[in-house]
Amino acid sequence: MYDYLIVGSGLYGATCAYELKKRGKKVLVIEKREHIGGNIYTEKMHGIQVHRYGAHIFHTNSKELWDYINQFADFNRYTNSPTANYRGKIYNLPFNMNTFYQLWGTSTPQQAMAKITEQRAEIGDRKPKNLEEQAISLVGRDIYEILIKGYTEKQWGRPASELPAFIIKRLPVRFTYDNNYFNDRFQGIPIGGYTQIVEKMLDGIEVRLNTDYFAERSDHNALAKKVIYSGAIDRYFDYRYGKLEYRSLRFENEVVDTPNIQGNAVVNYTDKEVPYTRIIEHKHFDPVESSRSVITREYPVEWQDGMEPYYPVNNEQNNALYRRYRELSKAEEKVFFGGRLAEYRYYDMHQVIASALKDLQSML
Ligand code: FAD
Ligand code: UDP
């Protein structure tokens, strides 16, 4: 008999497992994939650490969380500064003085602000109702049309006018010549990849791979006093109220015979004609000398059974459905729900760790 059965070996499950073991608890982790780590999994290809489930950059404002993750790996000083390719022309991201210069030829913050003020007048002082209005209100129509609309509608498969405003607020808008994608105090990539972090977290803990919780649900439940579930919440309740919507991704990897093909780790393709949203060149995250390079194109698709659900689609309808599932989850006395899928939240890695550490108090 285990004290805890943890469903999912992603960052949420692994953080819980590590902390519980530290407190003397007997833990079993089951994972339906053939490897640990969930979406932060990285693997070596041609000497290069490849982010199998999309680019992952660790960033946080919290010293405590930065120290926490640094227990498990050494981090480099990588700063994410993606570029955008719109119909062959390159722009800097996030939206900053370089971008404004490239678009409008403005060279001072006052000139750029004047341009944005003029362009956001169509929204005025009203509270933006959706992503489109929020974007125009933040940076004006030109940037919306060139750098946001095409990318967003490919990524989410829905009109920007039907998406929640908060999604675009993830991106900084700055009146300095600073291409850092994040405002956080701490940022980096673990040297040698993310998988080692989860390996260290799960060191000495029994893990069963290729094991789906639902394949033998009652047998699995019988193994432990308590269950920590980090899979999709609607699946847990057999889609009783219907399915939540997710976006999935198809990753197309290519090995190229050149040491440096795009000069940057992340290039976003912001026009709607190019079917992928971004190309990742992995070696720029954790640099290595090699004559070849590995790139990945990301094609967004609507989630269907059998695919990985990567992004919750947090519009009002799905959030309302999620709340109904959340009510059901409260009645599951020995089960704790957490992580990106069980909470149906667009969590970054640092937020998942913070949430696991907080949830732990009620799990003990
Ligand atoms: P997951 O990693 O999804 O782990 C859940 C695990 O549970 C999976 O391994 C799954 O296989 C397993 N599981 C599910 N159901 C079952 C079942 N029935 N039985 C057994 N096992 C099951 N965050 C950042 O901070 N920076 C970034 O740059 C960043 N980039 C991202 C890019 C992409 C494309 C994506 C999709 C996410 C990105 N994130 C980023 C977010 C980050 O991936 C998540 O915050 C984090 O991985 C969530 O961890 P988790 O454990 O909640 O979920
Ligand atoms: N976004 C955009 N253009 C870009 C990059 C991002 O319009 O070049 C929008 C898009 O809606 C995206 C959101 O900003 O979903 C958040 O971007 P982020 O890079 O944080 O997405 P993630 O890395 O989580 O996929």
Tell me the percentage of the chain whose pLDDT exceeds 90.
100
Dihedral angle at the C-alpha atoms of 161, 162, 163, 169, nearest 10 degrees?
30
Residue 320 placed within a domain:
yes
Helix residue spans in the chain (DSSP H): 11-22, 63-70, 97-104, 109-119, 131-139, 141-143, 149-156, 195-201, 217-222, 233-236, 316-330, 349-363
Instruction: Classify 326 as helix, strand or coil.
Output: helix
Number of domains in the chain: 3
Active site residue 348: yes
What's the domain range around 126?
A: 94-168
CATH number at residue 61: 3.40.50.720
Q: Domain check: are 123 and 269 in the same one?
A: no
Hunting for tokens 């609507």 — which residue is that? 302
The per-residue DSSP string of 137-157 comes to HHH-HHHIIIIIHHHHHHHHS
- Rounded to the nearest angstrom, the distance between the alpha carbon of 152 and the centre of ligand 2 is 7
Residue 226 placed within a domain:
yes
User: Which residue's alpha carbon is at the smallest distance from atom 8 of ligand 1?
Assistant: 38
- Rounded to the nearest angstrom, the distance between the alpha carbon of 290 and the centre of ligand 2 is 30
Q: What pLDDT score was predicted for residue 59?
A: 98
Residue 88 placed within a domain:
no
Active-site option among 87, 170, 185, 250: 170
For a mutational test of ligand 2's pocket, the pick from 91, 103, 149, 151, i.e. the residue with the most ligand atoms closer than 8 A to its C-beta, is 151
Indicate whether this model's pTM tops 0.85. yes
For a mutational test of ligand 1's pocket, the pick from 12, 36, 39, i.e. the residue with the most ligand atoms closer than 8 A to its C-beta, is 39
- Rounded to the nearest angstrom, the distance between the alpha carbon of 151 and the centre of ligand 2 is 7
For a mutational test of ligand 2's pocket, the pick from 91, 138, 147, 148, i.e. the residue with the most ligand atoms closer than 8 A to its C-beta, is 148
Q: Domain check: are 45 and 107 in the same one?
A: no
Q: Could you tell me the end-to-end alpha-carbon distance of the chain, in angstroms, rounded to an integer? A: 16
User: Which residue's alpha carbon is at the smallest distance from atom 41 of ligand 1?
Assistant: 348
Decide whether any atom of ligand 1 lies within 6 Å of the 82 Cβ: no
> What are the residue ranges in the chain where pLDDT is below 50?
none
Active-site option among 281, 286, 348, 359: 348
Active site residue 23: no
Cα 5–chain centre separation: 25
DSSP lists the bridge partners of residue 49 as 44
Q: Domain check: are 112 and 191 in the same one?
A: no
Closest alpha carbon to 282 in 271, 268, 292: 292
Rounded to 5 degrees, φ, ψ at 222 are -70, -10
Q: What pLDDT score was predicted for residue 308?
A: 97
Active-site option among 33, 52, 174, 340: 174
Q: Domain check: are 11 and 160 in the same one?
A: no
Which ligand does the CA of 167 lie closest to? 2
Q: What pLDDT score was predicted for residue 126?
A: 93
Residue 86 placed within a domain:
no
Decide whether any atom of ligand 1 lies within 6 Å of the 35 Cβ: no
Integer Cα distance of 46 and 294 in angstroms: 8
Considering 134, 168, 202, which residue would you say is the last residue of a domain?
168
Q: What pLDDT score was predicted for residue 94?
A: 98
Q: Domain check: are 250 and 240 in the same one?
A: no
pLDDT tens digits, 27-70: 999 999 999 999 999 999 999 999 999 999 999 999 999 999 99
Rounded to 5 degrees, φ, ψ at 278 are -155, 160
Residue 83 placed within a domain:
no
Q: Domain check: are 217 and 272 in the same one?
A: no
Which ligand does the CA of 277 lie closest to? 2
Considering 111, 134, 168, which residue would you say is the last residue of a domain?
168
Active site residue 247: yes
The ligand 2 site (C-beta within 6 Å) comprises: 84, 93, 147-148, 151-152, 155, 167-168, 170-171, 268, 270
Residue 255 placed within a domain:
yes
Integer Cα distance of 339 and 349 in angstroms: 10
Q: Domain check: are 281 and 340 in the same one?
A: no
Active site residue 324: no
Q: Domain check: are 234 and 273 in the same one?
A: no
Residue 174 placed within a domain:
no
Integer Cα distance of 97 and 177 in angstroms: 5
Atom from ligand 2 closest to the CA of residue 152: 11
Q: Domain check: are 98 and 157 in the same one?
A: yes
Residue 116 placed within a domain:
yes
Q: Domain check: are 323 and 215 in the same one?
A: yes
Q: Domain check: are 154 and 292 in the same one?
A: no
Q: Domain check: are 344 and 216 in the same one?
A: yes
